[in-house]
Amino acid sequence: MDYTELCEKVLRSAEKLGAKEVEALIVVRRAIGVEIERAEIKTCSDVMDSGLAVRTITNKKLGFAFTNILAQKEAEATVKRAVGASKASPKDENWKQLPEKHGYPTVRNTYDNKIAQFTSDEAVLLCQTMIKTAYDIDKRVLPAFGGAEVTISEGICLNNQGVKAEDKGTSLVCALGTMARSKTQVSPMCFEFKASRRYEPNPKWVATKAAGLAIDAINVGSAEAGRFPILLDQFALQSILTFTLVQSVRGDNVARGRSIFQNKVGKKVAGENLTIYDNGTLPGGLRSGKMDMEGVPRQKTPIIEEGILRGFLYNNYWARLEGKESTGNAGRGGGGLSLPPYGTIPNISPTNIQLKAGTFTEEELLEEAKNGYYVRNVQGAHQSNPETGEFSVALAPAWRIQQGKMTHAVKNVMIAGNVYDMLKQISALGKETRQVGTFIAPKVVISELNVITK
């Protein structure tokens, strides 16, 4: 099926029914997944999902409808539902207009034809390799959960303001969560993964790292409460910042007065060693692409530069409302019903939140943390308060650092503090970065946080 032609027909049909502005978005996604549970292959799936979303606006009244049937007859019915919803909706006096025509960047390393030809048999083999490797490392290790997943996606967005954009992408993920048991201890869940937009699987590396973490985590010793330097791994850092900093740099939260950064552009909000961008055009970035989910070009957006707040993330609606340009951060989908991308109107979503690397080696980071703690991951970050920055999280797993060396794992330990104060207390940033979730970051040392023990 020619998806562009179908979108063009949607635009014409909506205009004939009286819509002044029309947008058609088609998303096609195939996902091949194999799931591991308790050292066994649990499920294998190969799912194709596709759908059409239609937005129509007349006299500042918004209508929206979607379908997962990409056929002419169903598309016409979807247009009628969207136009009908527009007529029944109240006016949104803040509405300006849909995005206009733009040029699009060239974004490298986001599609690999070898992944597009991937099979479920290959996914099973990757999982079997991870299970075997973990057992070979140490028989005390249980490969508890994980799997391999490939996605192949395509998006097409047209509107009657001149937008005509198309993008496609691939990704491959291998992941494994492990636990280890000794005569006296059971480790917390230890997780590792490798994700890439290109065909670069390394199941042995994933399993070796996950198993090694679990074995190290059963060497448990004492923990001390108080104020200590904390070395945060990228896993812990992204968990804490996703539910605080990211929420505070969304343009909608700023406009609503729900951000501590309101009216602070150009002011110092972090240490001079901290620079953060949202980079939607990063080569090979897990969330990189040519366009966002309403056809606006992706871009590199400065958030904090050398400690100074530079700006916020916007989709088209909130950018126009605030007299700004969209930063190409329109996302769709999710919510309480976990709807697909074509199932919702645009929201504001980060792409690749990129923290500029520092100069510290692994050994130097440990030396900077002195007699503190190394935190690999945390639990409970979702309960943080993004408006105040207050957070309190459990550490799992984490290790004690003494005299610049990791000595033993710790249990039943928490850290608490304020994220916005924490941004001013980063004493060291590592020279190596990796992407975890939306964040591409180095490990960082926080000069002091409150440590709580049982």
Name the pLDDT band for 453 (thresholds 50, 70, 90): very high
Please tell me what DSSP assigns to residue 342: G
Q: Which of 52, 168, 31, 64 is nearest to 111 (CA)?
A: 168
Please tell me what DSSP assigns to residue 76: H
Query: Tens digit of pLDDT for each residue in 212-233?
Result: 999 999 999 999 999 999 999 9
Burial bucket for residue 364 (CB in 10 Å: 0-12, 13-18, 19+): middle
CB-based contacts of 184: which residues, under 8 Å, 6+ apart?
Answer: none
Contact between residue 151 and residue 171 where contact means Cβ atoms under 8 Å apart: yes
Query: Tens digit of pLDDT for each residue in 91-104?
Result: 999 999 999 999 99
CB atoms within 10 A of CB 207: 27
Query: Tens digit of pLDDT for each residue in 60-95?
Result: 999 999 999 999 999 999 999 999 999 999 999 999
Would you list the DSSP string of 270-310? S-TT--EEEETT-TT-TT--SB-TTSPBP-EEEEEETTEE-
CA 388 to chain centre: 22
183 vs 321: CA distance, rounded Å: 61
Query: Tens digit of pLDDT for each residue in 385-444?
Result: 999 999 999 999 999 999 999 999 999 999 999 999 999 999 999 999 999 999 999 999
In the chain the domains, ranked by start, together with CATH numbers, are 3-216 (3.30.2290.10), 226-453 (no CATH)
pLDDT of res. 338: 87
pTM for this one?
0.95
